[in-house]
Homo-oligomer: A and B are copies of this chain.
Amino acid sequence: MRVLIANRGEIAVRVIRACREMGLPTVAVYSDCDRAARHVMEADRAEHIGPDEAVRSYLNFSAILDAARRSDADAVHPGYGFLSENAAFARACVDAGLTFIGPAPGAIEMMGSKTEARRAAMRAGVPVVPGTEAALGLDTAEEELTAIAADIGYPLMVKAVAGGGGKGMRVVEDPGGLLGALRTARSEAGSAFGDTAVYLERLLPRPRHVEIQLLGDSHGTVIPFVERECSIQRRHQKVVEESPSLAVSPALRARMAAAAAAVARAVGYTNAGTIEFLLDEDGSFYFLEMNTRLQVEHPVTEMVTGVDLVQWQIRIARGERLDLEPEQALTPRGHAIECRLYAEDPDENFMPSPGLIRGLRPAGGPGVRDDGGVSAGYRVPVFYDSLIAKLVTWGNARDEAIARMGRALREYQVLGIRTTIPFFLWLMQEPDYLAGRYDTTYLDRILAGRQGPFVEVAEEDAALAALAAALDVYFRAAGAGGARAVNGPRPLWTQIGRREALRG
Q: Which residues does A use to contact B, with CB under 8 Å? A: 13-14, 17-18, 20-23, 35, 42, 299, 302, 306-308, 333-334, 356, 359-362, 364-372, 375-377, 379, 394, 396, 400, 403-404, 406-407, 410-411, 484, 486-488, 490-491
Contact = CB atoms under 8 A, between A and B. Distances in A.
A371 B17 CA distance: 20
Contact of A491 (B299, B306, B488): B488
Given A13-B365, A20-B406, A306-B333, 18 more contacts: A14-B366, A17-B365, A18-B366, A21-B400, A21-B406, A22-B403, A299-B366, A302-B366, A306-B394, A307-B396, A308-B400, A359-B376, A365-B369, A365-B370, A366-B369, A366-B371, A376-B376, A488-B491
Contacts of A368: 369
Contacts of A406: 20-21
A166 B411 CA distance: 38
A308 B366 contact: yes
A406 B22 CA distance: 10
Nearest to A22: B403
A359 B358 CA distance: 12
Nearest to A359: B376
Contacts of A361: 360, 375-376
A18 B377 CA distance: 31
Contact of A365 (B23, B333, B371, B403): B371
**Total copies of this chain within the assembly:** 2
Given A306-B333, A306-B334, A488-B491, A42 B369 contact: no
Contact of A404 (B13, B21, B360, B377): B21
B486 A377 contact: yes
Q: Which 5 A-B pairs have the closest CB atoms?
A: A364-B370, A20-B407, A21-B403, A17-B365, A21-B407
Nearest to A500: B486
Contact of A372 (B22, B364, B367): B364
A333 B307 CA distance: 12
Nearest to A35: B484
22 contacts: A17-B366, A17-B407, A20-B407, A21-B403, A21-B404, A21-B406, A306-B333, A308-B366, A308-B367, A359-B376, A360-B361, A361-B375, A362-B362, A362-B364, A364-B370, A364-B371, A365-B369, A365-B370, A366-B369, A368-B369, A377-B486, A379-B486
A306 B393 CA distance: 12
Contact of A486 (B356, B369, B490): B356
Contacts of A13: 365
A403 B22 CA distance: 7
B14 A365 contact: yes
A486 B381 CA distance: 13
Given A359-B376, A362-B364, A364-B372, A411 B42 contact: yes
